[in-house]
Structure 1
Amino acid sequence: MRAGLIATLISTGLLAPREAHAFKLFGITLWGERDKGSDVIDPVRYSLTFESPGSDKDLRKVLENSSLLLADKEKPVSGDLGVVVKAREDRERLIAALYEQSRYGGTVTVTVNGTPLDALPPNPTFPRNAPVPVSVTVDPGPAFTLGHVTLEGDAAGLDPAKYDLVPGKPAGSLVIIGAANRMVNDLKAGSHPLAAVADRQVVADHATNRVDVTLRIAAGPVAPLGPVTVTGSKRVDAGFIQKYSRLKPGQAYSPDELRKANDRLRKLGVFSSVTVKQAETLDANGAIPLTIDVSEGKFRYFGVGATYSTIDGAGLQGYWGHRNLFGEAESLRLEGSVSGLGQNGVGDLNYAAGITFTKPGYLLPSGTLEASIKAATLSTDSYDADTITGKLGYSYELNDYDTLSAATALEFARVDDAFGKNDYLTFSVPLEYVRDTRDDKMNPKEGYKASLSMAPSYEFLGSNVFTNLEGSISGYYGLGQEDRVVLAGKLSLGTLFSTGDLADIPATRRFFAGGGGSVRGYAYQGISPRNGNDDATGGLSYMTASLEARVGITDTIGLVPFFDVGTVSTGHVPDFSDIRAGAGLGLRYATPFGPIRLDVALPLNPYPDGDKYGIYVGIGQSF
């Protein structure tokens, strides 16, 4: 029986010396003293009594979550006046929370050291022999509903129900504020950059427990974009920033386009902050001027990592990069790794090294040029390969969801597999179309990603022509208001056509399946047709499918039961004569950079000498 467990720790960014008293991982203090923050001048502690009679469980939770007195009860405040200031702020927060919950008749009573808050002197003095007693009592009062809803000005023709303003429905303050903001946004989307709320009247009738709302919206004139100015740039060319934003003077004003410009500039990785601001007035030409304000981040970065596997031994990885090589966000990344330490002899270690250059906005603002050269040695259960690959590619964003890419690649491969030791020199033209509507690339809860690719190729040493055709689609569907359960599925298919035999195609281009991104529970590239000697040969077609139920247990921890299935065939169409399936359970831990994944999988019909289970660790969901 064989099993593998891999753990990885990666550190990125520039390292700067600083004093450290504790070690934290994902926000959890593992050892050392917890950070208590900066010292408080004249520290005064308080004790708190928090009551809310008449509140149901949900409302009480909302009130408790709104109270900073409750959240910070273990922290001292600065001076006796600090207690009073904090109590006054808390009262305002609690009143706002009641309004948000449609409770316009509620009251919040606060006493400090037994004295009502508003009866305290300007500079109170409290005994210091014990924490200052603070009492908060919240009477929520009745729930109010919406009464008459009146829309005036440029909102007069809008339907209040479209904005959740329906008489008889809850009259929460956030509903009313949100409705007005959505009306303004809808008018801005119609190229009215100066649209604003001109008047908002909210009148609560305590005799009927109803709230009458009057909203007046002023749309302002229709206006195109005016001059686009860039501020804050130092080493990144301002003209490139304006070009890459894709905001052009004269185009129709659209808040959505401003948001997209902000997002695409952030994704360049060269800025610590990006803000796209519009002027408060139109210019002399009736256009709205824009300012792109940026703050540049650190351009150089590096990282190191380590892995360990009971199957493959230890491994080390490292990389260095520069995000702004020539002043237009060109990136250069050098990376290398070695694995098999302690498991294989020096001559059998796996090595990889590569250098990648990327130039965004090449030729067109939506285009990206990428050039790379990579060398690697790879040892799998099915074959061993030493490769060196050069690639030059260009990708173009058709819109927010669709991307086309094309490249040329030249690869030399020395392969030791079921067909013996052979050399291959292959020129290919990879082509790909991707449509991606996922809401989150690392942890999607809705949407789908679909891709179609082909790679016409010519192998020089054997004068063989072949083409890989592949397609995949993954979809995500969240259940419940908070998407506590996400159903995820993926289907992948591929076929390969060649003028030669299977042996004339490099093993790196034949189809195999198995591993953490395929059929879990089986070795990487371990699922394959086999010859009379029981050696894996790879195939000309494949199909893999995965189903997952991603169940959130807490805000940070989730469980994922999963089922994977796959087959690889020697024909151009999968014949499903040898289907391999795996099932298991995964654990997810949410972090700011994506969920940490731990999957334990069992092969349901393992090979006689294959793994009996597999353990997979990584960052991000499995697909």
Structure 2
Amino acid sequence: MACLVLGVTSLTFPADAYAFKIFGITLWGRDDASADVVDPVRYSVDLTTQPKASGKDADDLEDALKKSSQLLQDKSKPVSGDLGVVIKAREDRERLLATLYEHSYYGGVITISIDGTPIDSLPPNPSFARDKPVPVKVEIDPGPLFTLGKVNLTGDAARLNPATYNLVTGKPAGSLVIIKAANKMAEDLKAESRPLTHVSERKVEADHRSNTVEVTIGVSAGPVAPLGPVTVSGAKAVDPTFIQKYSRLNAGQPYSPEELRKAADRLRKLSVFSSVTITPADKLNPQGAIPLGINVSEGKFRYFGAGATYSTIDGAGLQGYWGHRNLFGQAESLRIEGTVSGIGQKTNATDFDYSAGVTFTKPGFLLPSGTLEASIKAATLNTDSYDANSVTGKLGYSYELNDYDTVSAATALEYARIDDAFGRNDYLTFSVPLDYVRDTRDNKLNPTGGYRATLSAAPSYEFLGSTVFSNFEGSISGYYGLGQNDGVVLAGKLAAGTLFGSGGLADVPATRRFFTGGGGSVRGYGYQSISPRNSADDPTGGFSYLTASLETRVRITETIGLVPFLDVGTVSSGHVPDFSDIKAGAGIGLRYATPFGPIRLDVAVPLNPYPNGDKYGIYVGIGQSF
């Protein structure tokens, strides 16, 4: 009993304990919003829309008004003093009026009273009773819907078609539609290499007799101009010459807002800058060109971190890494990392899987679009199919053909000692990996559209057995969003490979033969457990494979999603998959959205497991499965 009481006592907290939060969720303690507010005053709010209309448009308007009201959104948070209630109410009136304009209501009336008194009738320093929350009443009469009447385009915008910018007589005259139309006109004219383009006139006149809005938009485009000198500021440890070179913005090339945006994104992806701003000058130089300024703010160059994964089949995995992002002053990166996996699934630490490696990357090598990468990695891998100890050195070069396409070539030398269905063998393999990647995904961490396609070949020569062989692989994954804000995303992936060589399976290292199964391919099966088998039922690996995955990613809330999925795979001893042994796994996943990508929890069952094989698998990680 004493132990029980002690355990219960250790889990209780005093009433004024600080709250503990994770991912914005209060796990314990009191989340007191008034702790940091001087003279805290609480209020209640009643917001109504009159007259009460019906229909989807009315519901959408009411929902938009409630979302724009900070009185409503912050009703659980106190304000500072009685005057704080009045200030918040007055600010809310402006927000609500802007929301009415956004939804094409230009004759609305917003009445706000505090403790029964209209806010415009309150004294400069009001005083409210503190025995209960101060009552705030908000009444909104949207009035009639306004539509677009006459649309006048002046200046360089006169040659544009208003309908192209959703300005059509008779359609709703939302303020955002008008603002976006004017900005888009300026963007389109600026894209004609006219850097001085700006909106010179934007006038909206509401006619309350006809409930129409007359719109006048003027745009001044200015002359066509190329880029002038490109200067760099803010750089301290990073070479300014490298920054300009890597931006790929050079004097004399046509001015393009899109190229400026791409250059800024390109520099940000180097991960050496906390901010990047590219700003054209406000006038042309004497040569008729537009000077550019690249302003950067350098971030922290050194970093370290750790990660973890878990699968009920393959056990837990830990990863640690340290890196430097600007080794020699031109964004060269050095990363040292180590991993251990199989924890829990294997009882002896000597049977865990270990890896350690060093990777050096130099962006902008030889050409601004080229990247040099050199690495060396040592690993032990103990799977259901084979055990391997290997050391691999690699030197490669990748080149960005455009925004979507990248090609790369490398040379690699691997020594491996492998225990598998063919006994213990040593391999020393030289290879020339060749890769092509096309990536049009709209978001690398959580795509809702686009696709990613890969093609690869790895001509190889194994010295100890004098074997020539080559792997050929390809994959494509696609994404299609459905519904409002892509609330449902259909995702699919197809991958296939084949291997040709001068010898048999035993002459090719197991690390280069094909196996499948596990969290990255067919969930519900052990890692690389799907394979052809010999007469002793030992997995041998195959000369070809094919896998397919289908997922339906359903967003339940802003942060929570459910993902039913189906994975299928086969590995064959022939050079073309014969589909004589197809394995399939199905399950459901949970996703929790974070700024660094979704946290993934998948539960899968094999639909046709191997005899004495695993009955289910649970996988935890960061990022979508593909």
Aligned to 1:399: 402
Tell me the residue number matched to 2:134: 132
1:304 is displaced (CA, Å) by 2.4
Q: Is the 8 A contact 2:310 2:621 kept in 1?
A: no
Deviates more, 1:486-495 or 1:94-103: 486-495
The one-letter code matched in structure 2 to 1:218 is S
User: Match for 1:168: what amino acid?
Assistant: G
2:300 corresponding residue in structure 1 = 298
Distance 1:226 1:365 in 2: 19
- Corresponding position: 1:465 with 2:468: yes
Give SS of 1:88's match: helix
The secondary structure found in structure 2 opposite 1:155 is helix
Matched, 1:584 2:587: yes
Overall identity of the aligned pairs, in %: 74
Q: 1:365-421 CA distances to partner (integer Å, 9 max, x unpaired)?
A: 111111110001001111000011001111110000000001110000000000000
The count of corresponding residues between Structure 1 and Structure 2 is 604
- Residue number among 207, 212, 215 corresponding to 1:213 in the alignment: 215
Q: Which of 25, 38, 41 is the aligned partner of 1:28?
A: 25
CA distance, structure 2, for counterparts of residue 326 and residue 374 of structure 1: 23
* Equivalent residue number for residue 43 of structure 1: 40
Q: Cα distance 1:371–1:616, how it changes in 2: closer, same or farther (>3 A)?
A: same
Map residues 319-468 of structure 1 onto 2, 5 A cutoff.
Answer: 319-341=321-343, 343-468=346-471
- Structure 1 residue 22 displacement after superposition: 5.0
Q: Does 1:102 align with 2:110?
A: no
Paired residue for 1:284? 286
Distance 1:210 1:381 in 2: 73
If the length of structure 1 is used for normalisation, what is the TM-score? Answer: 0.94
Letter in 2 for 1:166: V
Residue 89 (str. 1) matches residue 86 (str. 2): no
Please tell me the residue identity of whatever aligns with 2:251.
Answer: P
C-alpha deviation, 1:303, in angstroms: 1.3
Unaligned runs of 5+ in 2: 1-16, 53-57
Partner in structure 2 of residue 15 of structure 1:
none
Q: Name the counterpart of 1:613.
A: 616
Aligned twin of 2:117: 115
Return the letter of the residue paired with 1:178.
Answer: K
Offset at residue 102 of structure 1 (A): 0.4
Secondary structure, counterpart of 2:66 in structure 1? helix
SS in 1 for 2:385: coil
TM-superposed CA distance for 1:21, in Å, is 5.4
The alpha-carbon deviation at position 137 of structure 1 amounts to: 1.1
**In structure 1, what is the Cα distance between the partners aligned to 2:309 and 2:484?**
38
Shift of 1:130: 4.1
Superposed counterparts of 1:70-81, under 5 Å: 70-81=72-83
Give CA-to-partner distance per residue, 1:571-597, whole Å, 9 cap, x none.
Answer: 111111111111111111111111111
Question: Which residue of 573, 577, 582 maps to 1:574?
Answer: 577
Deviation at 1:306, TM superposition (A): 4.3
* Counterpart Cα distance in 1 of 2:265 and 2:287: 28
Q: Tell me the secondary structure at the aligned position of residue 157 of structure 2.
A: coil
- Rounded Cα–Cα distance in structure 1 between residues aligned with 2:601 and 2:309: 14
1:457 deviation in Å? Answer: 0.4
Does the residue aligned with 1:156 lie in a helix, a strand or coil?
helix
The superposition leaves residues 259-294 of structure 1 with CA deviations (integer Å, 9 ceiling, x where unpaired) of 111111111111111111222222222222222221
Partner of 2:534: 531
Q: 2 CA distance for matches of 1:227 and 1:21?
A: 55
Superimposed CA distance per residue, residues 418-437 of structure 1 (whole angstroms, 9 cap, x where no aligned partner): 00000000000000011100
Are the structure 2 counterparts of residues 375 and 41 from structure 1 closer, same or farther at C-alpha, using a change threshold of 3 Å? same
Change (3 A) 1:486 1:146: same
Change (3 A) 1:182 1:66: same
After superposition, give the CA deviation of every residue in 1:193-240 in whole Å (9 maximum; x if it has no partner): 111111112111111111111111111111111222222222112111
Whether the aligned pair in 1 keeps the contact of 2:310 and 2:619 (CA below 8 Å) is no
Say what the alpha-carbon RMSD is for the aligned residues.
1.8
Structure 2 match to 1:8: none
Question: Cα offset for 1:77?
Answer: 2.1
Query: 2:30 & 2:466 partners in 1: Cα distance?
Result: 67
What aligned pairs does 1:167-316 form with structure 2 within 5 A after superposition? 167-307=169-309, 310-316=312-318
Whole-angstrom CA distance in 2 between matches of 1:85 and 1:289: 44
- Distance in 2 of aligned mates of 1:76 and 1:347: 58
Letter in structure 2 aligned against 1:44: V
Equivalent positions of 1:499-578 (< 5 A) are 499-578=502-581
Provide the secondary structure at the position in 1 that maps to 2:176. helix
3-state DSSP class of the match of 1:482? helix
1:349/1:337 CA distance change after superposition, 3 Å: same
Distance 1:355 1:230 in 2: 32
* 1:315 Cα deviation after fit: 4.1
Q: Using a 3 Å threshold, how does the CA distance of structure 1 residues 132 and 332 change in structure 2: closer, same or farther?
A: same
State the secondary structure of the residue aligned to 2:159. coil
CA distance in 2, matches of 1:396, 1:201: 49
CA distance in 2, matches of 1:476, 1:29: 34
Measured in 2, the distance between the counterparts of 1:159 and 1:495 equals: 54
Partner of 1:65: 67
Partner residue in 1 for 2:11: none
| Equivalent position amino acid for 1:78 in 2 | S
Does 2:56 align with 1:54?
no
Structure number with higher relative contact order (C-alpha < 8 Å, ≥ 6 residues apart)? 1
Q: 1:346 to 1:113 in 2, by over 3 A?
A: closer
Shift of 1:171: 0.8
**In structure 2, C-alpha distance between the alignment counterparts of 1:395 and 1:309, rounded to whole Å:** 33
Q: How far is the alpha carbon of 1:134 from its aligned partner?
A: 2.3
Counterpart residue identity of residue 28, structure 1:
I
**Residue range with higher mean Cα deviation, 179-188 or 143-152:** 143-152
Secondary structure (helix, strand or coil) at the match of 1:527 reads: coil
Describe the shift of the 1:369–1:254 C-alpha distance in structure 2 as closer, same or farther (beyond 3 A): same
Deviation at 1:311, TM superposition (A): 4.6
State how far apart, in whole Å, the 1-side matches of 2:492 and 2:274 are: 35
Alpha-carbon distance in 2 for matches of 1:220, 1:26: 49
Q: 1:37 to 1:267 in 2, by over 3 A?
A: farther
1:80 is paired with a residue whose SS is helix
**Residue 201 of structure 2 contacts residue 219 of structure 2 at CA under 8 Å; is this kept in 1?**
yes
Q: Pick one of 138, 161, 164 that aligns with 2:166.
A: 164
Q: Deviations over 1:452-499 (max 9, x none)?
A: 100000101001110001111111111123111111111111111101
How far did residue 611 of structure 1 move?
A: 1.2
When residues 361 and 31 of structure 1 are mapped into structure 2, their CA distance, relative to the original with a 3 A threshold, is farther
1:492 aligns with 2:495: yes
- Could you tell me how far apart the structure 2 residues matched to 1:305 and 1:21 are? 28
TM-score by length of 2: 0.93
- Native 8 Å contact 2:311 2:617 kept in 1: no
